[in-house]
Amino acid sequence: MTIVQWIEKSGAQMRVFDLGRRIEKISKSDFARIEQQAIPYPSPYLRHAWLGILTWNPKQAGQHTIWFLKLPLDEQNQLQPGPRDAFLRHWAQVVMAPDQEHGEAPYSYKPDPQRMAYFHALALQVLGQEPTRYYQTARAYLSGDLGWDNWQNLGLQGLAETVARIAEGESTTMLATALPHLPAIPRNSLLTFLENIEVGHELSVALNDCLSHVVSAGATEADLAAFVRAFSHSVNHAQRAALLQVILAHPHGRSLEVLAAMGSRCWQDLRGTLLQGWLENLALNEQGQAAFNALVGELMALPGCRDAVMSVFREPQRSEALSRAIGALLQQVRQASTLQ
């Protein structure tokens, strides 16, 4: 039995979210096909499907269930049925004996605070519930009413709900206006939540201007990584590619935090010269060959990326550092193949 079949049999409704690279909805029909191995998982992260599954029964108002599952994928990004089945067996035992202690469900996990806050914001909307009290506090702060330095009591939940409800109350203009005034900590938290939405033109222009100001003032690695995540799903593809080039040229462009953000959030942009620039910087990252191998391997596992990477690997116009890193990676692959 699949997860979709289990929930349908119970009479409940469901909403499935991918919590890997960004938080986005997976349609029920697509998830059913993923479970049946009819299609591969569309956006694997670290060779797993990171799922948030919300279920509720319309006949039982106020009750809902949330599952967070980290299910392994095979080399073709197909969902492996064994771990899924183990989770369902555990849940069946919970249902049959709810008063007993069953321990932690297999393949369950706890999302980080950022993902948890944003998932909660989406769940409130799906269930038709009002936002939390943190939402109005966040809006008051982002409107400038509380003073830009008074952010210490600002919760992640309020920022998450503001982004999740960006279509409400002229929120796009509010965020675009607020960005230049925000201190680094609340700004970077807000930027991280923006990775989950399709940032429109007005906000992408504001992000561009804010990034220019932050760079001129002395951007940190965390600042640049946050901006990468913020405009990773923007509607302005050309602007995004240009900003990525600017960040790669920055002194912190070789930082593993920045490069990992690009590889995990902007993988669809990494083609041609931009991909080569990313690989050149990655070859010089501060954590060395192991980090190069890990990030390149993760990128190559994504749909459509393997051929792009191999094309750059064959490019004769590359640095000696990148050539050495490629050689070391290929040697490791050959050794692994020999051992199998």
Q: Name the strand (E) or helix (H) holding 25.
A: strand 24-26
Q: Which two tokens stand for residue 143?
A: 């409107």
Q: Which two tokens stand for residue 136?
A: 């109005």
Query: Please, are residues 210 and 197 in contact by the beta-carbon 8 Å criterion?
Result: no
d(CA 316, CA 208): 33
Task: Concatenate the DSSP letters of all residues of 108-133 into one string.
Answer: B----HHHHHHHHHHHHHHTTPPPPH
> Which pLDDT value is given to residue 169?
83
Q: What is the DSSP letter of 316?
A: S
Q: What is the mean pLDDT of each run of 10 residues along the chain (340 residues)?
A: 94 96 96 97 95 91 90 95 95 85 91 97 95 96 96 94 94 97 97 97 95 95 97 93 95 97 96 96 96 96 92 92 95 73
> Which pLDDT value is given to residue 97?
84
pTM: 0.94
> Which pLDDT value is given to residue 339?
59
> Which pLDDT value is given to residue 338?
67
φ, ψ (nearest 5 deg) of residue 213: -65, -45
d(CA 194, CA 305): 24
Place of tokens 């590889």: 263
φ, ψ (nearest 5 deg) of residue 276: -65, -40
> What angle (nearest 5°) sits at the alpha carbon of residue 177, between those of residues 174 and 182?
105
Amino acid identity at 284: L
> Which pLDDT value is given to residue 335?
77
- Find, among 175, 193, 228, the residue nearest to 22 by Cα: 193
- Provide the 10 A C-beta neighbour count for residue 95: 9
